[in-house]
Amino acid sequence: MDPVTSAPQWFTDALAVRPTSGEVEVGGAQVRYRVWDRTAAAQDTTGAVAPRGATAPGILLVHGGAAHSHWWDHIAPQLAGRHRVAALDLTGHGDSDTRDHYALAQWADELLAVAEAAELGPRPVVVGHSMGGMVTYVAAHRHGPRLGGIQVIDSPIRLRTPAEEETRGSALRRPKKVYPDVATALAHFRLIPAQPATLPYVIDHVASTSMGPVPGGWSWKFDPAMTGRDGSDALGAGAPPCPMAYFRAQDGIITDEVFAEMRARFGPEAVVFELPHTGHHPMADQPLLLVAAIRSVLAAWAADGRLR
């Protein structure tokens, strides 16, 4: 069965919601982003769309390493019934510019610049996956008072050992492969890290938006040099100065030992729980569960007054 035609209605409806595009210059590079406005989004589960003047905070979605903003195409419309939502391409990813060198701190500053350019409001909530969660955590420590909160998805929020830094991303630092045509490139698309269970219609969409034309054929839209980025001491710091939630994927990359160390640093106010039966990429195997988790935390923060 064709994975596109077998997609459920909620997925095709989400992709039918067309975001607007924008770009902003940050540190000499153009950063591209897309915005799903409240008035253009599908209705939420209550059947109501919040008016343009609603006070619900804007949401910024941050992809993982070697990914891009289209990983959120089926997620963002589910959140945009009550929120203005943006997703960006970090530099070195997607349609944003490349840099001579990359750093978590530079990417963290890109988040704040995009949130302002996309008009997400004075205290947006940032949701980051994998490497994007690391960037989000660094942004919270650099710009915490300007954020309404952060939600981090299966990210290793810790300082790496020198040996880990030396070997990090070695596979991705290899020259990008160039494929003669789109079909050949699609056949070679793989998640990193791999996970056994995925939804084929999600993978089909993500893969098709992950490539672009290059001399000699087609290749993936990320700069392999981004894996050599600088780290940040903020990854070993304690609780950020804004509300935080952490979603651990049950079948993800975070070991029990690493999770226990992170949990202690996040502090008692952090919302921390496990997404059952999910791999490291929950938007690829349990997207509606991920949406429910994000929505639930937003509702809890709004109820107790933490979303001001």
Residue 213: CB partners within 8 Å, gap ≥ 6?
none
Q: What gap in Å lies between CA 159 and CA 153, rounded to an integer?
A: 17
Contact status, residue 120 vs residue 149, Cβ threshold 8 Å: no
Please give the mean pLDDT across all residues of the chain.
91
pLDDT in tens, 209-248: 999 999 999 999 999 999 889 999 999 999 999 999 999 9
Amino acid at 26: V
pLDDT in tens, 73-98: 999 999 998 999 999 999 999 999 99
Q: Tell me the whole-structure pTM to 2 decimals.
A: 0.92
pLDDT of residue 228: 87
User: What class is the 20-166+231-303 domain?
Assistant: alpha beta
Q: What percentage of the chain exceeds 70 in pLDDT? A: 88
Running DSSP on this structure, what letter comes out for residue 61?
A: E
Distance from chain centroid for Cα 148:
17
Q: What gap in Å lies between CA 73 and CA 17, rounded to an integer?
A: 9
